[in-house]
Structure 1
Amino acid sequence: MKPRILLIGTGDTKADELLFMSDCIAKAGGEPIMMDISVLGDPPYAARYDKHAVAAAAQTTIEVIAASGDENSAMSLMAIGAANLTRDLAQDDAIDAVIAIGGTMGTDLALDVAQALPLGMPKLIVSTVAFSHLIPPERIAADLMMILWAGGLYGLNGTCKAVLTQACGAIVGAARSTIRPRNERPVVAITSLGKSCLSYMVELKPQLERRGYEVVVFHTTGMGGRAMESIAAQGGFAAVLDLSLQEVANQLTGSVVNSGADRLENAGKAGTPQIVAPGAIDMVDFPAWLPTPKELVERPFHAHNRLLASATSRPDDRRRIARAIANKLSQARAPVAFVLPAGGIQQWDREGEALHDPEGLSAFVSEMRSAVAPPVELHEIKEHINSAAFNERVLQIFDKWVAAGIVPAGKTTVAA
């Protein structure tokens, strides 16, 4: 296999870098296919997909884009064209992977391109702002790879060549070795934290697999929830068991450990049935290597590791979180069941544990009871979220929905 690698960049300003990358891709055994996203100038090479083709994919012309007002509006229009054109190429099986290069402008465009591609098609962005907080979580595709473009502001040098060669080798290798999702069984998503905090996945995953489903568990520490939302937005799940909503609470309380403002919304918009529970909404996460935020200094505290720490939110914040959860669920276009474990919502809120806060739990449970309204189903249990009773109620609802045809039946056998 000689993988076809779509290489995207502004050829009028980064021709040296792009030609170097094209050569690296070819030497690694790939076929470089150039897409030029320049607006004002022209590259010193013939791109297979030039700026006119990109503009046409946005249903306009490069002249209109250049006269649109400023560099932001121009590149936003080019991003529409680049995303549309790349999506068409992927659907026509004309490319096997995509790599893009840029500063903030090129990265902004490349993020849209990545989101236009299906899960399993390798996508890599070489960026001067890789991993930066400038990039909001909701812009990041579920399986996006990024590498920091060290020394890459202007022109080639030994430092940036070291990065570019790694990136080109990585994208060719990924294109050769990737396994695309086959989805032979209906896919069910579960959100959770580590089993020391939320343990229901240990029981629910094998139970659902025995029923004929492929189960995908997402770690709700910011980017895990983002990946789930990204796939849910494309209708990638038969059902979602969104049982850990810590990222919703984080976003509402200003924590950087969040998945974006649309967390808990995309499955509902896509018409995917959801069973939801408030796992760990009482915790506000923050980087353990930074000072504790002043509003949390006096709150019960737990250091998970050297990266992540948590403190409990105040009762009034929990009431606000409850109302936000109910509002998000009310907008769903498919059935939603909310399971409310009145006995506790994460391991460390039990009596004697570091985050035990009965007043805060009571405030949340009380507000949730009044905030959830039909057609969302409210299922309150007296037990803790890490109890057998919680798992039994979730499976009871799931099995009822399967019997009613709301969730497609599982497949206990698949083709070899």
Structure 2
Amino acid sequence: MSSIYLAGTADTKGDELAYLHDILTRSYANVLRVDLGTRAPKTEMDIPARDVAACHPDGADRILGTNDRGAAMNAMGVAFERFCKDREDDIAGIIGIGGGGGTSIVTAGMRQLPYGVPKVMVSTLASGDVAPYVDVSDIIMFPSVTDIAGLNRLSRVILHNAAQALLGMVGSPPPEQMDDKPAIGLSMFGVTTQSVTAISAALQESHDCLVFHATGTGGRAMERLAAGGILSGLIDITTTEICDLLFGGVLPANRNRLDVVAQTRIPYVGSVGALDMVNFWAPDTVPERYRDRKLYCHNSNVTLMRTTAEECGQLGRWIGHKLNACEGPVRFLIPQKGVSALDIEGGDFWDRAADSALFEALETTVVETELRRITILPHHINDPEFSAAAAAAFLEICQN
């Protein structure tokens, strides 16, 4: 029987760890307390900090032999990553508690575990920006409300509820997947929804279609699954995250966007979806240097900026160089009549010169081969004809 892992710094969170251990063991026999502290623990732990620290590439003394608490905690995060990776087959679920340092350490390990393994983090930081801690994982962040600095009438309730949430997930695992269709990833944004929905509908009989929201984390999650062999192909219609990467938007891809296609050689159909826009939050968050640009208020919290012809040329060349590194089957589709719901004749972002610069940069940069091809289509990206062509292109390269 695998175990629930209860993780935290026992030198500062001893009472809370003991309280959680008592709740968890009432319902689940195997609960292992993992100490992530850098000083002497204040409560009994099943796995001492030295055992975790020993997983660090430089050994336990790299963590426990220094008086620099900040450096020790950063190194403990690295050690806990390896610890969780090594024990992932034994972890039925994991729950952690922490403030700033503890949250960083515990979630570093949680992010190494497969999707679907229950992960609950009770944190003083959970009501703020949790992106650095969750990243592209499925960690559930529980706001602690009060500081984790001793038990009180509110913290007991919060910790109890977090423990029950984990026990519920561990005690009622999802049914085994019976779908034997190959899984593929599709990237989508609100302005390409019509296109991607139609592609998914066309392929759902033969493939399990996993659609990812192209918000930076969506693209990273999609490519992480592809790197892990869970996705057998990508239909990357919406590459808009690259705009935010190159021009300072708030939903950026990483620099390694598209590298997984080269590394895995999986079938890839891509396009220029939403390369007409860079994302910012509310209007007053748009950088000063962009204030005189064409802006569109998507809603009160999201402001879109139209990319210029010069920027579109940069985008086309950046993507083109990435595609040239791909030696597997690649089809890249160019919709001549527009790249998003806003980039359509009469639309707010309609700019034929910018689109032409994007398309020309792609055509002149991509080196076509027998496996790597660009196809120009006389359609808008949301036209049914474009969706049909994308689905057909994917089926073609899957069958060859």
Distance 2:232 2:123 in 1: 35
In 2 relative to 1, CA 150–333 (structure 1 residues): closer, same or farther, beyond 3 Å?
farther
In the alignment, which residue of structure 2 is the partner of 1:34?
33
State the TM-score, normalized to the length of structure 2.
Answer: 0.88
Which residues of 2 match residues 1-400 of structure 1 at below 5 A? 4-27=3-26, 31-45=30-44, 47-58=45-56, 61-67=59-65, 70-91=68-89, 94-130=90-126, 132-133=128-129, 135-136=131-132, 140-179=135-174, 182=177, 184-194=180-190, 197-210=192-205, 212-288=206-282, 290-332=284-326, 334-374=328-368, 376-400=372-396
**Which 10-residue stretch deviates more, 6-15 or 128-137?**
128-137
Distance 2:123 2:365 in 1: 43
Distance 1:272 1:162 in 2: 48
After superposition, what is the alpha-carbon deviation per residue over 1:301-340, rounded to whole angstroms, capped at 9, x for unaligned? 3333333231212222222222222233334463332212
Match of 2:34, SS state, is: strand
In 2 relative to 1, CA 314–244 (structure 1 residues): closer, same or farther, beyond 3 Å?
same
Match of 2:141, SS state, is: strand
Question: How much does 1:289 deviate?
Answer: 6.6
Question: How much does 1:88 deviate?
Answer: 3.2
Match of 1:57, SS state, is: coil
Question: How much does 1:104 deviate?
Answer: 2.8
Distance 2:94 2:231 in 1: 25
Partners of 1:235 and 1:272 within 8 A in 2: no
Give the number of aligned pairs. Answer: 397
In 2 relative to 1, CA 347–135 (structure 1 residues): closer, same or farther, beyond 3 Å?
closer
After superposition, what is the alpha-carbon deviation per residue over 1:251-301, rounded to whole angstroms, capped at 9, x for unaligned? 221122234443333344344332111100111111237454434433333
**Which 10-residue stretch deviates more, 15-24 or 145-154?**
145-154
Question: How much does 1:188 deviate?
Answer: 0.7
Question: How much does 1:68 deviate?
Answer: 5.7
In 2 relative to 1, CA 134–125 (structure 1 residues): closer, same or farther, beyond 3 Å?
closer
Match of 2:193, SS state, is: coil
Match of 1:237, SS state, is: coil
Match of 2:269, SS state, is: strand
Distance 1:69 1:253 in 2: 41
Report the AA paired with residue 161 of structure 2: Q
Question: How much does 1:133 deviate?
Answer: 4.6
State the TM-score, normalized to the length of structure 1.
Answer: 0.85
**Which 10-residue stretch deviates more, 105-114 or 348-357?**
105-114
Partners of 2:53 and 2:64 within 8 A in 1: no
Partners of 2:273 and 2:340 within 8 A in 1: yes
Partners of 2:379 and 2:386 within 8 A in 1: yes
Structure 2 stretches lacking a partner, 5+ long: none
RMSD: 2.8
After superposition, what is the alpha-carbon deviation per residue over 1:126-182, rounded to whole angstroms, capped at 9, x for unaligned? 223336457448x62332221233222533334443432332222222223342773
After superposition, what is the alpha-carbon deviation per residue over 1:222-252, rounded to whole angstroms, capped at 9, x for unaligned? 3322322332232220001111111121122
Report the AA paired with residue 176 of structure 1: G
Report the AA paired with residue 171 of structure 1: L
Distance 1:55 1:333 in 2: 41
**Which 10-residue stretch deviates more, 225-234 or 61-70?**
61-70
Distance 1:290 1:154 in 2: 37
Report the AA paired with residue 352 of structure 1: G
Match of 1:244, SS state, is: coil
In 2 relative to 1, CA 263–353 (structure 1 residues): closer, same or farther, beyond 3 Å?
same
In 2 relative to 1, CA 342–224 (structure 1 residues): closer, same or farther, beyond 3 Å?
same
Match of 1:284, SS state, is: strand
After superposition, what is the alpha-carbon deviation per residue over 1:330-351, rounded to whole angstroms, capped at 9, x for unaligned? 3446333221222210011111
Match of 2:109, SS state, is: helix
> Between the two proteins, what is the percent identity of the paired residues?
26
Distance 1:30 1:287 in 2: 47
Distance 1:178 1:255 in 2: 38
Question: How much does 1:189 deviate?
Answer: 0.7
In the alignment, which residue of structure 2 is the partner of 1:407?
none
In 2 relative to 1, CA 325–396 (structure 1 residues): closer, same or farther, beyond 3 Å?
same
Report the AA paired with residue 263 of structure 1: R
Distance 1:401 1:44 in 2: 58
Structure 1 stretches lacking a partner, 5+ long: 405-416
Partners of 1:96 and 1:122 within 8 A in 2: yes
**Which 10-residue stretch deviates more, 306-315 or 117-126?**
306-315
In 2 relative to 1, CA 356–216 (structure 1 residues): closer, same or farther, beyond 3 Å?
same
